[in-house]
Structure 1
Amino acid sequence: MNESNFNDLLEQEFKWPMIGDKLFSKSLSASGAILHQFSNERLYHMTIGYKLAADTLIEHTYTEAWKTQKLVYPIIFCYRHFLELTLKSMLEEYSSASVVTSNWSHHKLEDLWKAFRGILKEVGAEDPKEHSIDAVEQCIAEFSKIDPVSETFRYPTNRRGSPLHISLEIIDLIQLRSTMEAIDNFFSVSRSLLDDFKSAKSYYE
């Protein structure tokens, strides 16, 4: 650390807990964040927010590489949770109520994907010549293998205290972000297709 950085550090305000400190307070300034009261609104913003958080954290590593070793865990967790919420929201929107209830009771990406792919098949969206569905399925399986139940990048151990094993030693965050962007595009197009099918179905009923 050079002298300039050291002096900057010394000049920073040293925060210490004080009686009367609050974590959550209202603000009408630019720092105020709205917490939506309706669950469907929260689901929409949460889904986008987790991916945006991961993208933003990766951007921080471009100029400050030392942060990579710290941020890699929340980055991967946020991307995984984005996938989970995306699949659950799509299933909630386009499948039966009985299926929706069971979907919110677990964190298994492969099970959620299997149910979602069933919906795509039902509306005739599976084109043998188009490999995008298979490509996304491979990525879902890859994520499920490294983090089966959304614990691996939140905790160092499981609920029994046993260490959680990570099969990889190093990952390319730029490649991760690029692939997640492609998957996000796939789900956006799928949502448009399913909306069209849903509208057409209601028109003829």
Structure 2
Amino acid sequence: MFKKAKTNHHPNVINLANEIMDTHFAYTAGFYEAAKILGERMLNEKYQASRDRLAYPFLFLYRHHLELYLKNILQKIKEFKEEGIVSSSKGCIPDSLYKELSNLQDHNLYQLFELMEKALPYVQDLKEDDLNYLREIKKMIKAMHDIDKSGQKFRYPANNNGKLFFSKEQSYELKTMVETITKVHSKLTSIYDSLDKCLESMCEYHNQHME
């Protein structure tokens, strides 16, 4: 299966740990793109007969993307503390919060989002529009969290005791799901990019004045 390629520049070749691509970005973007492609195909009448089978990998890919993106944002916030950058009126990230940001082993989407809410004011002065923006995303994250709190329900049909995760039929609008994927991804990207640009400019300013 894993036959070594002779070159990394070929239409028939994939590159793990691509040297010109950030690995964290590759994972996060990859799960998002896979979910989006699968969701859009499921909307096609051609795949109607297989929608209910594809629903599980589709939702797993999407949920895992959310988890990875939230953790990427939290890691980016953590870097402000590590670089000694103070970019908000609240001052430096407290040690207790830094400790929380350094322990992101949980798969609980809602807790990860609440940690992001808690940490953001230490790196950005949030306005009312920003808070409304976060509330909107939070509702969407909560919806996914409520249906799968552990990140296991779309990976396996049953828990360790053999009890089915979904024992009764539940019906949801696929088009709404696909649209929500795009919307939440866009909003999380906006947050991440804002933090990344701020950190980069603050580090550059700091380094210039240290010379």
* Alignment TM-score, normalising by the size of structure 2: 0.76
Q: What is the aligned-residue RMSD (CA, Å)?
A: 2.4
Alignment of 1:1-205 (within 5 A): 23-27=1-5, 28=7, 29-36=10-17, 41-61=22-42, 62=44, 63-95=46-78, 98-103=99-104, 105-130=105-130, 131-165=132-166, 169-202=170-203, 203-204=205-206
Q: Given the superposition, is the C-alpha separation of residues 142 and 193 from structure 1 closer, same or farther in structure 2, using an over 3 Å criterion?
A: same
- The question of whether the paired residues in 1 share the 8 Å contact of 2:39 and 2:58 is answered with yes
Q: What percentage of residue pairs aligned between the two structures are identical?
A: 23
Unmatched 5+ stretches in structure 2: 82-97
Which stretches in structure 1 are left out of the alignment for 5+ residues? 1-22
2:77–2:120: 8 Å Cα contact kept in structure 1? no
Where 1:102 maps in the other structure, the secondary structure is coil
Q: Which amino acid aligns with 2:180?
A: T
Aligned 8 A contact 1:51 1:82 in 2: yes
SS of 1:64's partner is: helix
The offset of 1:196, in angstroms, is 3.4
Instruction: Decide whether the 8 Å contact of 1:152 with 1:166 is kept in 2.
Output: no
Higher relative contact order (CA 8 A, sep 6+): 2
Alpha-carbon distance in 1 for matches of 2:150, 2:196: 30
What is the distance in 1 between the residues matched to 2:18 and 2:201?
31
Distance in 1 (alpha carbons) for counterparts of 2:110 and 2:55:
23
C-alpha separation between the residues in 1 aligned to 2:197 and 2:136? 23
TM-aligned CA deviation for residue 200 of structure 1: 4.7
Cα 1:167–1:118 shift into 2, 3 Å? farther
Alpha-carbon displacement from aligned partner over 1:81-124 (angstroms, at most 9, x marks no partner)? 00000011111122256334410x22010111111112322234
Name the count of aligned residue pairs: 181
Aligned residue identity for 1:91: L
Separation in 2, partners of 1:81, 1:94: 20
Structure 2: which amino acid aligns with 1:87?
L
Cα distance between partner residues in 1 of 2:129 and 2:29: 30
Structure 1 Cα separation of the partners of residues 125 and 166 of structure 2 = 37
Match of 2:61, SS state, is helix
